[in-house]
Amino acid sequence: MGKICPEKLLELVFPYQGKNRKEVIYNASLGRDCGVVDCDEDLIALTCDPITGTSTHIGSFAVHVVANDLICAGADPVGLLISIVLPHNSDESQIQLIMKDVDLTSKKIGIAVLGGHTEISEVVHRTLIHCFGIGRVKRDNIPDVEKVQPGDSIIITKGVGIEGTAILANLYHAQLSNQFGQSFVQKAQDFMTMLSIVPEGKIALKHAPHCLHDATEGGLLGALWEVCAGQNLGFIIQEQSIPLRPETKTICDFFQIDPLKLISSGTLIIFTPHPEPLLEAFQKASIPGYLIGKITDSSDKILDLNNGKNELIESCPQDELWRIIEKSTDFTPF
């Protein structure tokens, strides 16, 4: 279950990209979440994503995921199309609740809902949302995965496992409340408010980053793997420099999972040759920013552990959220 690994994407998906057109500047590639099209005055960024790992606040998740991808392409999020497929036992109140979440989140980000599709079907056993986003890109200094270079600093914002913490706190609220109390679970559920990287993305774009990337499925390590694997580069990051919020650590310890491999919309990864001015700008905006490592010209992907040893990340990790759902017998999500 979960996202197809990079090796299989290269084999089964990326070779099939339709007609080569002069308007297309960037198309599908490892570590790239948006296509970019030249439409005369401005460039247009396009992206799409499903939400499959949770049914709680699914409308908000859908909006954040596409808006985050757009800002990472250097785009101002303009609009989205949303397709909603609900199971046969759904009712009108569920549809309205989803759309209220979509509306509220879209207004906060400043993105318009352009249209979409809504249906009830026996094909699904829980709600599935697929969202398509479009944004405007200025021509100067578009960040992209192909611009990542050896020596680039790696900066992240806010912490790791943000989205996964919120999802797990909602899916397993009863079990976690019994273990840690309702107040703790509420704090973890409130990580929903940190899912947008649009504010820090706008700041980062002013500092000419080589690349921006949203740490979604596979978490921090999955995102770094995607970016580096596609460019035959490596990285070394320091575990002690990676911020881990107490709620995330507690939940990850409870489920015995690695927070660095946990889905983390809300964590913006910036690859830049000039980290200091960007970190200062984040500090002025009261956005937590952390320098965690560098890009290397080796293909080795290394985590420098707190115990002084190095761990070689040999493959793109499966997201820990899917691992829990696949193997767990003590917990019943959804």
Structural domain spans, the chain: 6-137, 145-327
In this predicted structure, what is the pLDDT of residue 319?
92
Sheet containing 289-296, strands listed edge to edge, beginning at the edge strand earlier in sequence? 211-214, 268-272, 153-157, 289-296, 234-238, 301-304, 310-312
Tell me the CB-side half-sphere exposure of residue 263, using CA atoms within 13 A. 25
In this predicted structure, what is the pLDDT of residue 26?
83
Tens place of pLDDT per residue across the chain (334 aa):
666 788 887 888 788 777 777 777 887 788 887 788 887 777 889 899 888 766 678 899 899 999 999 999 999 998 888 898 989 888 888 888 998 999 999 999 999 988 888 888 899 988 999 999 999 898 887 999 999 999 999 999 999 999 999 999 998 999 999 999 999 999 999 999 999 999 999 999 999 999 999 999 899 999 999 999 989 999 999 999 999 999 999 999 999 999 999 999 999 999 999 999 999 999 999 999 999 999 999 989 999 988 888 999 988 888 999 888 776 644 444 3
- Does domain 6-137 fall under CATH 1.20.120.80? My reply is no
Q: What token pair was written down for 133? A: 């986003």
Superfamily of chain region 145-327 = PurM-like C-terminal domain (3.90.650.10)
In this predicted structure, what is the pLDDT of residue 139?
83
